[in-house]
Amino acid sequence: MSFGQLYRDRGDSENIFDELKNQWGWGGFVTQNLARCRLAARMVALFYNWWNIFVRLVEPDRHMEAITSRPLLLHAIATWVRHARQTTLTVASSHAKNFPAAKAFRAVALFLHELTKNAAQVTGLQRGRRILARAFQVFRHGRQLRSPARLAPG
């Protein structure tokens, strides 16, 4: 491996901490109550993880920073209509890149719809594993996720 590649890899790992501090507010908390600081830090980490899983479902091939992905994926208006035992969710976005985002949202909606069709046969753990496998397919290279030893059945 070349020195240049090692330097780029180090920079990529530092970018995550930079993003957590500057875009997610993990730069510090101004309270002397340690329990509140820990709670706030854990909540930021949890939201960051959830957002990254969601964004990886939308765009599995690359990391999208919050500063660009949040305006693209959150600035939309949705209407939820229930009629005749059917629910329709319509999302309208005024973002300049709303067409690629809409295409990605359709793909995620189709994937989640497939998960719900077999909801009775699939456990919550299996659904979670399928969602994570899809979100991180770039890193998995087609391999299936296995449960950690403490969660494995039997």
- Each residue of 85-98: pLDDT tens digit? 888 888 888 888 88
Residue 81 is predicted with a pLDDT of 93
β-strand partners of 115: none
Q: By C-alpha distance, which of 144, 109, 143, 110 is closest to 126?
A: 144
Positions of the chain with pLDDT lower than 50, given as ranges: none
49: left (phi over 0), alpha (psi -120 to 50) or beta: alpha
Rounded to whole angstroms, how far apart are CA atoms 144 and 8? 29
Q: By C-alpha distance, which of 48, 76, 75 is closest to 63?
A: 48
pLDDT in tens, 5-17: 888 888 778 888 8
pTM: predicted TM-score of the whole model, two decimal places: 0.73
**DSSP annotation of 144:** P
Rounded to whole angstroms, how far apart are CA atoms 147 and 144? 10
Task: Answer yes or no: are the C-beta atoms of 129 and 148 closer than 8 Å.
Answer: no
Residue 145 is predicted with a pLDDT of 76
